[in-house]
Amino acid sequence: MCITRLSLVVSLVLCTISLFADQVTLKNGDRLTGTIIKSDEKSLVIKTEFAGEVTVDWTAVTNVQSTQDMTVGLKDGKTVVGPVTTNGDNVVVTTKTTGPVEAPKATVTVMRNPAEETAYQKSQHPGLLEGWNGGLNVGFALTRGNSETKNLNLAFNAVRSGRRDKLTLYAGSIYATNDASDASPHTTANNIGGGARYDHDIKARVFAFVNTDFYSDDLQTLDLRALFGGGFGFHAIKSENTTLDLLAGANYTHEKYFAFSRNFAALTLGDEFMHKLGKTTVLHQNFYFFPDMTNTGEYRTTFNLSTVTKIYKAFGWQNSFGDIYVSNPPVGNKKNDIVFSTGLNITFTH
């Protein structure tokens, strides 16, 4: 009698658990019970009691039953919220406002449970100190004996991406000396630069931007170049592995050299390119052309190319090449400044 009652209690408990659990059925007949966390067009993740998180191929799923509200995104851009079931090859979301919404399983781009949706929304609207990704580049060289030189290069880059906007901060410095007593000049490189750019998407492909940039170069006798500008851009390529942005706008530039100063308005024309080379290397390239609108015929260009190759966890190796061309430098100075640097890269995420 006691055994019968115990079996009945166990059965009732198991039935109760199954009533309040999500279920996923696969093509081979396997059934997973637990809590559906999320899915995309490739896979579905469900947390089970004994096996932990299990990831299954989305195309292998034949039946879904969720007891919790799921946020479901469809290919037509529509988003619906409610418990999810399946009806043949269709997914049915029972919403609280419009009732059941049925759509082909192939059109479901994403499903998220409440906790995952909250985390996703937070990631799309991070606080000012959240959502940052970037890196610090450090390179140093020292020689003594037949030559006496030292070289230090530092660079910093940080990007904070939201759902429709992006904030980029950057800075860099190269300092090099020839310490031999008969060397002239002793300082062979001393430049510092930095700036910020804010992008905001107007449409899926079109965005507006504002930017500011500061630069100084002792060997060019440039105490300060300050640029303030803005304009519009176009996401020509926007994928996980490759991005290409084309930009056009205008800027106000102030230049203070050792012997004189000048202010002028200029156009801003350029591109920003990123491509992932395999799993460990990322390539970045940008080119900007600044034609002077005050003194027609004068212009400045900047070109940068860099790679970062991951070595171990947060550490990588960076190489960068830069070229700054000024059509009207001070008398006695060359028009081109070319810089190559290499060293350690340290990445960070916050």
20-124: CATH topology is SH3 type barrels. (2.30.30)
CA distance 250 to 275: 27
User: Which secondary structure element, helix H or strand E, spans residue 238, and what is its range?
Assistant: strand 222-238
State the average pLDDT over residues 110-114. Answer: 96
State pLDDT tens for residues 201-257.
999 899 999 999 999 999 889 999 999 999 999 999 998 899 999 999 999 999 999
* Burial (Cβ within 10 Å: 0-12, 13-18, ≥19) of residue 256: middle
Q: How confident is the model at residue 187 (pLDDT cuts 50, 70, 90)?
A: very high
How does residue 71 score in pLDDT terms, banded at 50, 70 and 90? Answer: very high
Judged against a pLDDT cut of 60, whether residue 10 lies above it is answered with no
For residue 244, count CB atoms less than 10 angstroms from its CB and return exposed for 0-12, middle for 13-18, buried for 19 or more: middle
CATH 3.30.70.270 for the 132-349 domain, yes or no: no
**Statement: residue 130 has pLDDT above 50:** yes
| Contact call for residues 26 and 61 (beta carbons, < 8 A) | yes
Most confident of 5-9, 87-91, 197-201: 197-201
Q: Are strands 242-257 and 165-178 parallel, antiparallel or unpaired?
A: unpaired
Q: Which helix (H) or strand (E) holds 85?
A: strand 84-87
Comparing C-alpha atoms, which of 287, 217, 286, 295 is closest to residue 253?
295
pLDDT at position 311 = 95
Q: How is the chain split into domains, by residue range? A: 20-124, 132-349
Whole-angstrom distance, CA of residue 151 vs CA of residue 176: 4
Q: 20-124 and 132-349: same fold?
A: no
For residue 219, the model assigns a pLDDT of 87
Provide the mean pLDDT of the chain: 91
Percent of the chain, pLDDT > 70? 94
Pick the residue with more confidence: 123 or 267?
267
The per-residue pLDDT for 94 is: 95
Q: Is it the case that residue 19 has pLDDT exceeding 70?
A: no
Find the length of the chain: 350
Residue-level pLDDT at 3: 52
pLDDT value at position 131?
81
- List, for residues 308-338, the tens digit of each pLDDT value: 999 998 999 999 999 999 999 988 888 999 9
One-letter-per-residue 3-state SS of 140-202: EEEECCCCCEEEEEEEEEEEEECCCEEEEEEEEEEEEEECCCCCCCCEEEEEEEEEEEEEEEC
Among 15-24, 29-38, 50-59, 250-259, the least confident range: 15-24
Kindly report whether the global pTM for this prediction surpasses the value 0.85. Answer: no
Give me the phi and psi of 5, to 5 degrees please.
-65, -40
**Interval 131-142 mean pLDDT:** 92
Alpha-carbon 182 to chain mean position: 48
Tell me the mean pLDDT in the region 162-166. 85
pLDDT tops 80 at residue 4: no
d(CA 195, CA 228): 10
What pLDDT, on a 0 to 100 scale, did the predictor assign at position 155? 95
